[in-house]
Amino acid sequence: MAKRNTSTESTTKRSRVPTILYTIAALICLVGLAEATYLTVMNLTGETAVCGGSTSCFEVLGSKYAKVAGIPVAGLGAVAYFSAFTFATFAAFGYRRARMLFALTIAAMFLATLWLLFVQAFLLHAFCRYCLFSAAMIFLLAGIVVSQPATD
Amino acid sequence: MKRYLPFLIVLLVAVVAVGGGAVLYSAKRPHPLTIPKGKSVSAAKESGEGHALGPADAPVTLQEFGDFQCPPCGRLSEPINQLQRDYKEKLRLVFRNFPLINHLHAREAAYAAEAAGLQGRFWQMHDALYREQAVWSNSADARALFAAYAGYIGLNTERFKLDMDSEKVKERVEADQKQGLSLGVKNTPTIFVNNKEIDPKSLNPTELRAAIDAALKQAKPSS
């Protein structure tokens, strides 16, 4: 009986792990959404205080790579973070299809992050602290995706 | 209830993100855009006027001869912007370039502001140059920074770089400087309120406000 109880507890703990991880992912996405929204607004208003004396920041955010077809990359990032947040929230509540959508969204964000890091390192030779912060969050999210298979 | 909880959370986050973004946008919106259409002139050099902000028939005009590399000009920049926001249609700001020879990058900064003006963003570049003054003033390659600011405020950077070297831009800066010299300007900032020079010792937000109030009182009886 005691052995059976231990086994049940272990199963319950295992089943809680995805919920906890997707909740953490949703929280990371919220931080990313806040940062991307802030950067989008600053970009649209042309508010220069955002870079606070950082030359590299201006070089990156003022470059032609900071916009895609006239849309600030930060704006696209906000949409991506919101999508990832939505899927992570639904995955945390046990919606299995949301796991796959979350994994796909993070994969796309991961590839975009690699491209933006390449642009900063090899084309602009300047790094923006906001971009690096966002990259760190996406790497964390990618870690969560890898640790939680989208399908059982 | 639990069934609807994720939908509620996502909806709440969407509302907060959009609402927060909208509030931030309205707070950070560049001040030239807050002036009603038809009442703001961003580049009226052809008429011999400096870059002006505010209605042409405002009872008070504050005219500044400024040097983008001059620290006191930089310190006064935001307080003057605040005066324009406070007095709104009662105050017209006019900026004229007066780059001093002892400031290494001042003339190029003036060219940058004028080049931005050709693309309708003079005031945004003006604010960026003053806000970032400490950075570009000590930079070996200030032009690269000006181009970065131009890109950030949404200018066509290639056109901006060409305009910075154009005769048109240089002539505009020269014209401002000549105008200043003809008025006896020697230092920056030199500020006139309704054509009356403000004592350099009184160049602080409180005394500027007092000078504007006095000019408004004088303007009232005649209007």
CA neighbor of A76 nearest in space, from A114, A139, A118, A33: A33
Contact state of B153 with A92 under an 8 Å Cβ cutoff: no
pLDDT at A65 over 80: yes
Which residue in the set B17, B121, B152 is minimally distant from A58, CB to CB? B152
* A contact test, residue of B23, B28, B29, B141 with most A CBs within 10 A: B28
Distance from CA of B217 to the nearest CA of A (A): 35
> Within its chain, how far is the Cα of B113 from the centroid?
9
Backbone angles phi, psi at B62, to 5 degrees: -105, 115
In this predicted model, what pLDDT tens digit does every residue of B41-60 receive, in sequence order?
344 444 456 799 988 889 99
Q: What is the DSSP letter of B199?
A: P
Q: Do B6 and A90 touch (CB under 8 A)?
A: yes
Note whether A70 contacts B: Cβ–Cβ < 8 A. Answer: no
All structural domains of chain A: 19-147 (1.20.1440.130)
What is the reported pTM? 0.70
The residue whose two tokens read 């259409």 is: B37
E strand or H helix at A45, and its extent? Answer: helix A2-45
Q: What digits encode the pLDDT tens for the residues A66-103?
A: 889 888 999 999 999 999 999 999 999 989 899 999 99
pLDDT value at residue B109: 96
CB-closest option in A30, A41, A85 to B24: A41
